[in-house]
Structure 1
Amino acid sequence: MIRLRRLVRDYADAVEADLARYYPGTNLVDLWRPGTALTWRRLRNLVHWLPEDAVTWRVIGQRTLTLAESALVRLWELQAEKVSPDRPGDPYDPGGKQPATTTRKRLGGDVAAQLQAHRERYKDRLPTAS
């Protein structure tokens, strides 16, 4: 709870922008109005489940790739046969509740292995890098 209070104190603008974007009708000011639906517990849950591209994660320095960006980077890496030097990391789970393999499961298994196998099957059809 202390971390949430610090987040609201230091980055209230970003949190408020994300609440307006992802949870319409939720106003950060309601936290200090008696009798409103926004409590510290509810705010903690809303912030905890903000998506990867939320402004809050960017301003506190936890910017990572979204699932789509991660898939595109992996495709580029397979084609280039090297790791991208600008890769910031895999999709971020703000609460750390999901194991890293969850992303792969949502995308249908080990994406890199599937793409490599596909590439091997169709290597004679792929354009050659020059």
Structure 2
Amino acid sequence: MRLRIHEDGIRTIVEEGIQKSLTACLQCSKCGGGCAHLDEFDLSPRQVIEYLLDCLDEQVLNSRTIWLCGKNCTGCEVICPVGIPLSEIMATLRKEATRRGIEPKYEQPSLIYHKYEHCSKHRREGEEG
């Protein structure tokens, strides 16, 4: 795919939000490789960044991934060699999709996803799971 660096779009909003250029992404796929929920997504985290770089805004905003990824998990950020804050990116994308009136278009995630989200929530609140 051809990289279109100088076009405006969601990429600009995301980069301003995270204070980092998405071109820093090495496209190494470690984020997806370390994700326990990748099978729930239609785009891997790496693909989301690739699509943003290629100005494929509608595909990103209409993806299932932005609604599921990064809610209570930062596993991909821990293993990212350049520290791309994927949970912040996904939060920004959810906010932009909502602003544009785009609603989540996906079936309920699996029980495994909910179990992880539940346990993660309690860990965050200081409770044991």
| Same-fold status (TM-score > 0.5) | no
Bigger Rg, which one: 1
Q: Which has the higher contact order (CA 8 A, sep 6+)?
A: 2
